Amino acid sequence: MKKTLVFLVFFFGFAYQSLFAQNPEPSKDTPQKTRLSFSVYDGVVVVGYVDEGGFSNFTGPSISLTHQQTKFILSALPSLRYKEDTSIGTKNAFITPTLGIGFTYTYKILAFQIPLYYNSKTATKNGEWVVGFGIGLRLNPLNKTK
């Protein structure tokens, strides 16, 4: 039941996003307004450093504030984390999928991100949130025709 509900939410979110994807270009004379929007994806790809390892992610479902060519995004971050496990005995994989949350700032095609990831509790360490830093590209402006 939960999987079906999650699937339907994402399906209708993508459908809603696609229906209103064709926005007319504003003319040069009309000033652009700041707008708040909710989206399923934003087209931002980021790589960075967190907790003595690296990560790569895309921005996921988000709330964003847009003003001209600047965008502030608060979103879920489906990610791949890269970290070598130095423990003795059984080890974790070098690449692990994870979900984080974070703040992303974009200007034109550049993106800067501050992600938060949760490290689960282990036998020797308590669970904790760790902060990282990333840099990447916003893909949506690359698709615009002049």
The string of pLDDT tens digits covering residues 45-67 is 999 999 889 999 999 999 999 99
The pLDDT, as a whole number, for residue 142 is 55
The pLDDT, as a whole number, for residue 106 is 94
The pLDDT, as a whole number, for residue 19 is 45
The pLDDT, as a whole number, for residue 123 is 79
The pLDDT, as a whole number, for residue 61 is 92
Average pLDDT over all residues of the chain: 81
Percent of the chain with pLDDT strictly greater than 70: 74
| pLDDT < 50 stretches in the chain | 15-16, 18-22, 145-146
DSSP codes, 47-110:
EEEETTEEEEEE--SEEEEEETTEEEEEEEEEEEEE-----SSS---SEEEEEEEEEEEEETTE
The string of pLDDT tens digits covering residues 113-127 is 999 999 888 878 899
- Can you tell me the distance from the alpha carbon of 99 to that of 105, in angstroms, rounded to the nearest whole number? 19
The pLDDT, as a whole number, for residue 28 is 55
